[in-house]
Amino acid sequence: MKKNRKGLMLVLSSPSGAGKTSICKEILKKIKELKLSISYTTRPKRKSEVDGMDYFFISKKKFKELQAKDFFIENAKVFDHLYGTPKNFVEKNLLKGVDVLFDIDWQGAQKLSNFSKTDIVSVFILPPSNMILKERLKKRNEDSLEIVNKRMSKAKSEISHWIEYDYVLINEDLVTCTNEVVTILKAERKKRDRQKFIFNFVEKLLD
C-alpha cells in the first residue's frame, strides 16, 4: 500500500550558539526523506563553512535582485545581514512528500507560518544557561569578541519568542536533544491530517 502524505516543514530556532545548527546536522544523519533548506545570505562565510552546503553566500545586490523576483518564501535581516529561504525548493519537496528542515531564526519562522501554518512543526532550542551560551559562542572560535558580545546582547530578545513555538527543548546534551527532535518529527509524521491515504483506508475497513 502506498502511504502518501504531504511533506512538513520542521523549523528549528534558537539564540545563536544554542546548538540548532549542530542538531540539524545530526538529524539529517538519522532521518530519511528529510532535506535541509539551505538559506541564501549576505553574511561573510566562516572558515568552517562551505558555500552551497551551509549557505549560499551572495552579495547584497544579488540578494535584492532575487527578492524582487519573489524568489524567497521568507527573508529577514539578522545581525545586519540578509537571509532568505528559496521558495521553489521548499514547495517542490513538500508536494513530493519530502520533509524540509529549516535552521532559521524567529523572524523566518513567523513568515513561514504565514505561508502555510498547517505544514509547520516548530521547535525552539534553549541553552542550559546564559553562561553556557557564551562559552559555546567563544568555543566556535570563528567570531570576534565584539560579535560574541553582540550575539549575547540579542539572545534575550530571541529567547522571548519561545512561546510562539510548538515545542521547546533545552539543549543540555547534543545527542539527547537531537533524539528528542527526531521523536517529535516521527510523531508529527503520523498525525491524521498528514496521512493522505488513511481516510480511504479507513473507509474500506468500514465498508
Long-range contacts of 64-69, Cβ-Cβ distance < 8 Å, separation of 24 or more: 66/40
CB contact burial 12-49 (16+ within 10 A = b; e otherwise): bbbbbbbbbebbbebbeeebeebbbbbbbbbbeeeeee
Residue 181 DSSP symbol:
H
d(CA 91, CA 68): 19
Contacting residues for 202 by C-beta, under 8 A, at least 6 apart? none
Question: What local confidence, expressed as pLDDT, does residue 183 receive?
Answer: 97
Alpha helices in 71-173 (DSSP H): 87-95, 106-116, 130-140, 145-159
Question: What local confidence, expressed as pLDDT, does residue 143 receive?
Answer: 65
User: Mean pLDDT for each 10-residue chunk of the chain (207 residues)?
Assistant: 77 91 94 91 90 94 95 88 93 92 91 86 94 80 71 85 96 96 95 85 91
pTM of the model: 0.85
Domains, in order of start, for the chain: 9-206 (3.40.50.300)
CB contact burial 193-205 (16+ within 10 A = b; e otherwise): ebeeebeeeeeee
Question: What local confidence, expressed as pLDDT, does residue 141 receive?
Answer: 63
Question: What local confidence, expressed as pLDDT, does residue 8 receive?
Answer: 94
Question: What local confidence, expressed as pLDDT, does residue 182 receive?
Answer: 97
DSSP lists the bridge partners of residue 100 as 9, 35
- Note the residue count of the chain: 207
Count other Cβ atoms within 10 Å, centred on residue 169.
22
Q: For residue 128, give the 3-state DSSP assignment.
A: coil
Report CA torsion sign: 40, 128, 161, 80: negative
